[in-house]
Amino acid sequence: MKIVINTRLLIKGRIDGISRFTYETVKRMCVNHPEHQFYLLFDRMYSKDFVFADNVKPVIVPFQARHPFLWWFWFHSQVPRVLKALQPDVFVSTDGYSVVESPCAVVDVIHDLNFEHYPEHLPRLVRNYYKKYFPQYARCATRIATVSEFSRNDIHTLYNVPLEKIDVVYNGVSGAFQPLIEAEKKLIRQKYTNSCEYFVYAGSLHPRKNIENLFRAFAVFKDKTNSDMKMVVVGEAMFLAKSIQSVYDKHPYKKDIVFTGRVSDKGMNYLVGASYAMTYVPYFEGFGIPILEAFACGIPVITSNCTSMPEVAGDAAVLCNPFEVDSIATAMVTMYNDKSLYGQLLERSRSQLEKFSWDKTADLLWNCIEKSVEK
């Protein structure tokens, strides 16, 4: 079988979110299926680290597709030309963007439809592109893969795609995330929080991640407990992050909030693994990989009671209403005060984590690809 895969998000040193999904699944499929030929499409010079096996042929497709106009040019002009020239059995797009005409089967991985629910959080050109073309991509795909039952039902409901056309391929968690020994935790706390315990948030600083309400809840928590607990925010600013900055600037405990910016997987492992608990309370998420990263580090989790997060966390997290500051704050106070619950969550998280792995994800995506080419 000849398989073409959109891997334009694979950029060395910038593997997270959807690019993490791409890296972990494509690498495994290439290695596990040496009898098939894989063509990986990049929009710039690629790292040799992404040529995963001898059956991989990288193809550079100009130009760097990082703007709505260039998205259109890449997926509606350049990629169709490549598919016409290569005549593959299937085209796989791991980031949701796809083609509307193809000489072969198409598998589109649509991670979530956050832009349909919260379009105001995206720049106008970006949201207009998504809202115009993603419904077309979904309807034109032979099969769709997505990362949770929540997203599967959302795609079905909003785009009228039959459920039997959509496969769930849960995310996994990087092997880089491991529990720390006490000496390592101590060093990280000395470096970032003056040896104080801290809650950690890990992810992009995007409005739907609900950082503003998290900060407000942290202030309520501090008022109620009078503790020296800090908050460490690990991630990179994205669209419209000025609103987050505004809440931070007015925060009564801003000296207790630490921003680290973007860090490596190893750095993330240290920062999550040395924390008291993960506080991850978006009001919309297609999956929520940071929940699994915390579980892998042996750290309990506070997360939202909506969209995909209860599905991912199971009974191994304290759930709260992300739209209510008091609900988030109550969850933080509970996590801080109830040591018995804290221990129970750690036990449950180990069992919950066993349900997810990148090996399982890659196998499920491969099954989806095979179904797409069945006659």
**Do both 51 and 135 map to the same domain?**
yes
**Do both 205 and 84 map to the same domain?**
no
Average pLDDT over residues 218-242: 88
**Do both 211 and 161 map to the same domain?**
no
**Do both 25 and 137 map to the same domain?**
yes
What is the share, in percent, of the chain residues with pLDDT greater than 90?
Answer: 91
Does some domain include residue 177?
A: no
Whether the predicted pLDDT of 158 surpasses 80: yes
pLDDT digits (tens, 9 = 90+) for 72-123: 999 999 999 999 999 999 999 999 999 999 999 999 999 999 999 999 989 9
Does some domain include residue 302?
A: yes
**Do both 228 and 252 map to the same domain?**
yes
Residue 239 pLDDT: 54
Asked if residues 121 and 240 have their Cβ atoms less than 8 Å apart, the reply is yes
* Helix (H) / strand (E) containing 53: none
pLDDT digits (tens, 9 = 90+) for 13-69: 888 889 999 999 999 999 999 999 999 999 999 999 999 999 999 999 999 998 999
The DSSP secondary structure of 223-264, one letter per residue, reads HHH----EEEEES-B-TTTHHHHHHHHT-TTGGGEEEEES--
Does some domain include residue 212?
A: yes
**Do both 347 and 206 map to the same domain?**
yes
pLDDT digits (tens, 9 = 90+) for 299-350: 999 999 999 999 999 999 999 999 999 999 999 999 999 999 999 999 999 9
Whether the predicted pLDDT of 373 surpasses 60: yes
**Do both 216 and 308 map to the same domain?**
yes
Side chain identity at residue 132, one-letter code: K
End-to-end CA distance of the chain: 14
The SS3 call for residue 101 is coil
Does some domain include residue 31?
A: yes
Q: Which domain, by its residues, includes 204? A: 182-353
Listed range (218-227, 261-270, 361-370) with the worst mean pLDDT: 261-270
**Do both 164 and 193 map to the same domain?**
no
Does some domain include residue 78?
A: yes
**Do both 347 and 367 map to the same domain?**
no
Task: Label residue 204 by pLDDT band (50, 70, 90).
Answer: confident
Does some domain include residue 364?
A: yes
What is the share, in percent, of the chain residues with pLDDT greater than 70?
Answer: 99
Whether the predicted pLDDT of 251 surpasses 90: yes
Whether the predicted pLDDT of 126 surpasses 90: yes
Residue 206 pLDDT: 86
Where residue 75 sits, what CATH number does that domain have? 3.40.50.2000
**Do both 292 and 361 map to the same domain?**
no
Whether the predicted pLDDT of 135 surpasses 70: yes
Whether the predicted pLDDT of 164 surpasses 70: yes
**Do both 323 and 361 map to the same domain?**
no
Neighbour tally for 287: CB within 10 Å: 24
Task: Label residue 375 by pLDDT band (50, 70, 90).
Answer: low
Residue 156 pLDDT: 98
Asked if residues 195 and 185 have their Cβ atoms less than 8 Å apart, the reply is no
HSE of 45, CA atoms in CB hemisphere, 13 A: 0
Does some domain include residue 240?
A: yes
Residue 13 pLDDT: 87
Beta bridge partners of 117: none
Asked if residues 147 and 113 have their Cβ atoms less than 8 Å apart, the reply is no
- The domain total for the chain is 2
**Do both 159 and 238 map to the same domain?**
no
User: What 8-state DSSP symbol labels residue 34?
Assistant: T
Exposure letters 244-255 (e unless 16+ CB within 10 A, then b):
beebeeebeeee
